[in-house]
């Protein structure tokens, strides 16, 4: 009938997924995003499977999708966080003195 079960990993990547052994992972999420609850569920599932996982979740309070990189007024926190994102991607030097302190969830 063309419909997929909601537990199918193609629909829900968290369904039955083994999240152990992931590389260092940083998630930037805004509280206004529809995916916000899913990001927190990902955090919880990853840490329940791998309590020593190198995971950082940065929550932009009152921010929408793309807030850490965005350039629009509602994303007022973007200029502060954008250099961190670029450093994590290896696009800027990792001079730790220039990092903004991460708000880990």
pLDDT digits (tens, 9 = 90+) for 40-74: 999 999 999 999 999 989 888 888 888 777 766 66
Kindly state the average pLDDT of the residues 90-97.
67
Do 51 and 18 contact (CB within 8 A), yes or no? no
Among 17-26, 30-39, 47-56, 59-68, the least confident range: 59-68
Q: How many CB atoms lie within 10 A of CB 75?
A: 20
Instruction: Evaluate whether 87 touches 56 at the Cβ level (below 8 Å).
Output: no
Is the whole model's pTM more than 0.85, yes or no? no
Distance of alpha carbon 19 from alpha carbon 96, whole angstroms = 28
């Amino acid at each position: 009938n063309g419909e997929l079960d909601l537990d199918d990993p193609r629909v829900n990547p968290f369904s039955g997924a083994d999240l152990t052994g992931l590389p260092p992972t940083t998630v930037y999420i805004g509280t206004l995003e529809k995916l916000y609850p899913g990001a927190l569920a990902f955090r919880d599932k990853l840490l329940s499977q791998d309590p020593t996982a190198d995971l950082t979740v940065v929550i932009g309070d009152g921010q929408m999708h793309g807030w850490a990189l965005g350039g629009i007024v509602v994303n007022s926190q973007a200029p502060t966080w954008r250099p961190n994102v670029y450093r994590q991607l290896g696009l800027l030097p990792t001079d730790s003195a220039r990092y903004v302190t991460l708000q880990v969830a």
